[in-house]
């Protein structure tokens, strides 16, 4: 009987070691992702929050202040009301402070920050903001609501 208990004890110990090894491996694989999100969030969080709050306030100057020239040309002050009507018609106004960064993608010179955010008509809506470094500043070159 002593041998049986010893084998069961060894099995439990081996199981615990396997779980520990898998946990460490997962942390090591995921760490660069979390670090990347943190670095991107340093510049993307305040810009994204400003965009969403400026939309609530119908403030085009605040909304577009971090856009590159192409974005400003595509989404002008004249077309801003129509843009707001489309977005607000589907998801409503943004609930301030509800956004959470859920992903980051860096391809060539573009950085995409993906957020979930709560709106009046939609919980956990996806907001993607695409950034590009222009003249040592991160500028918004794309904005998507899904």
Question: pLDDT tens for residues 94-137?
Answer: 999 999 999 999 999 999 999 999 999 999 999 999 999 999 99
As for how many domains the chain has, the answer is 1
Mean pLDDT (whole number) for 27-33: 46
CATH number at residue 26: 3.10.450.590
Residue-level pLDDT at 91: 97
Mean pLDDT (whole number) for 4-27: 60
Residue-level pLDDT at 33: 46
For 140, residues 6+ apart whose C-beta sits below 8 A from its C-beta are 47, 51, 66, 67, 68, 71, 129, 130, 131
Do 115 and 102 touch, CB atoms closer than 8 A?
yes
Supply the pTM of this predicted model. Answer: 0.75
Which of the two residues, 19 and 27, has the higher pLDDT score?
Answer: 19
pLDDT band for 1, please (50, 70, 90 cuts): very low
Question: Please, which residues bridge with residue 122 across strands?
Answer: 119
Residue-level pLDDT at 7: 58
Query: What's the distance, CA 97 to chain centroid?
Result: 13
Domain residues for the domain of 47 are: 2-145
The answer on pLDDT for 10 being more than 50 is: yes
Residue-level pLDDT at 129: 98
Q: Which stretches of 57-142 are DSSP H helices?
A: 60-64, 69-74, 80-90
Segment 33-89, tens digit of pLDDT: 444 567 899 999 999 999 999 999 999 999 999 999 999 999 999 999 999 999 999
Residue-level pLDDT at 125: 96
């Amino acid at each position: 009987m002593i041998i049986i208990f010893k084998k069961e004890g060894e099995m439990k110990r081996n199981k615990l070691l396997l779980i520990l090894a898998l946990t460490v491996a997962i942390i090591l694989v995921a760490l660069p992702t979390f670090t990347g999100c943190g670095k991107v969030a340093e510049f993307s969080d305040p810009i994204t929050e400003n965009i969403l709050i400026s939309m609530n306030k119908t403030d085009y100057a605040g909304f577009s202040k971090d856009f590159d020239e192409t974005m400003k040309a595509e989404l002008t002050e004249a077309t801003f009301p129509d843009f707001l009507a489309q977005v607000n018609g589907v998801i409503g106004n943004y609930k301030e402070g509800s956004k959470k960064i859920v992903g980051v993608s860096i391809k060539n010179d573009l950085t995409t920050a993906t957020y979930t955010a709560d709106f009046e008509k939609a919980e956990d809506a996806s907001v993607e903001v695409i950034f590009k470094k222009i003249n040592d500043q991160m500028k918004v070159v794309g904005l998507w609501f899904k």
